Amino acid sequence: MKQPENMNWIMSKTQGDFVIWIIVFILSVFSLLAVYSSTGTMAYKYQSGNTEYYLLKHLFLMCFGLAMLYLCHKINYKYYSRVSQIMLWISVPLLIFTYIAGSNINQAHRWITLPVVNLSFQTSDFAKIALIMYTARMLSKKQDVISDFRKATLPIIIPAIIICGLIAPANLSTAAVLFATCLMIMFIGRMNVKHLALIVFGGLIFVSVTIFSLHKLGEATGRHIGRVDTWWNRVANFTGEGDQNEYFQSEQAKIAVARGGLFGRGPGNSVEKNFLPNPYSDFIFAIIIEEYGSIGGLFLILLYLLLLYRSIRIVIASPKAFGALLGVGLCFSLVLQALVNMGVAVHIFPVTGLTLPLVSMGGTSLWFTSIAFGIILSVSRDIEETEKLEPDIVLG
């Protein structure tokens, strides 16, 4: 059957893995529906009854993000290897500046405000993409000495420790997801498993001892030390004790999930959006389940798992190590963040503050997610072009 000319035109303009394009489209539709529903009450209260205010703002940010996605997918992914070095060097002073002089929201210095446009820019999003690209670059260049601790492991792991260490004080969950992503890339990149196990064990011990010590020091001195109390309360709440504000969030999320049942209350009919803190970002998955039921929630989970599967296919088909590691690293980061966000909503994990990629309402975070998707599609586009020269390479 001959495809319509419009479909052929679309496919010629949107190169790369067509399944990933479909996933991006469906997630974008989910995002618009969920954001419109979850922000209606807030818009009515703070925007003089204009219930479409946040929807239109989110639509503008999403369209700009999709434009960035399209642009990034047109760029040959090999250029990102060179750009990663510059981005990594920029990330360090940028994170330090954010920690010292960034906007303080909820006791966390995560944002700097961009002049003129007056948008909050979360510098960890920039650093996250930079580190993943740089790790993929270094692994691809160190394959000849990949088992050597001094020549390969140290040059690759030290930048990861520095970047994640600078992100952690303000956003521990983002630092943990980013570090886990880097470890996964290193594992796929054939780094010595004993070295990785040593890094994981040492990291867990260091973080646990540091948080415990700072919490006890805070209790002894009667002072709050950074966000240590927040982390402690979130874990305590997850185990049944802790700060009432954190407990309230988890309880309202569970109520939203319970209200949804199997088929949900229908689009726009959420009740818990009026009570749940941040229903448009951190807990948007709970609102989706309340409105679209467990079936809607399961469908969303399957979309992210399908994205992970397609990234694995990219690894198998990619003729270059950098492209394979870059594609799977960015995909894994997005999927892991999504699973953690959804796990928080159904009380599998403690409250983290991580958003649902490409679904939660956001500003620059939405743009960097779009850039990540664009880079992934750039890798798969290169594979398609290689297939034309080497037909035995099959993406599937």
* pLDDT tens sequence across 66-87: 999 999 999 999 999 999 999 9
The predicted-structure confidence for 250-282, as pLDDT tens digits, reads as follows 788 888 888 888 888 888 888 888 888 788 888
Q: What is the pTM of this model?
A: 0.90
pLDDT value for 212: 82
pLDDT (average), residues 158-163: 94
The predicted-structure confidence for 308-346, as pLDDT tens digits, reads as follows 999 888 888 888 889 999 999 999 999 999 999 999 888
232 pLDDT band, cuts 50/70/90, is confident
**Residues recorded for the chain:** 396
The answer on pLDDT for 106 being more than 50 is yes
51 pLDDT band, cuts 50/70/90, is confident
The answer on pLDDT for 214 being more than 90 is no
pLDDT value for 233: 74
225 vs 366 pLDDT, higher one: 366
205 vs 275 pLDDT, higher one: 205
394 vs 382 pLDDT, higher one: 382
pLDDT value for 52: 84
The answer on pLDDT for 1 being more than 50 is no
Cα separation, 288 vs 388, in Å, equals 41
CB 156 within 8 A of CB 128: no
The answer on pLDDT for 193 being more than 60 is yes
157 pLDDT band, cuts 50/70/90, is very high
pLDDT value for 395: 43
pLDDT value for 23: 95
393 pLDDT band, cuts 50/70/90, is very low
The torsion region of residue 346 among left (phi > 0), alpha (psi -120 to 50) and beta comes to: alpha
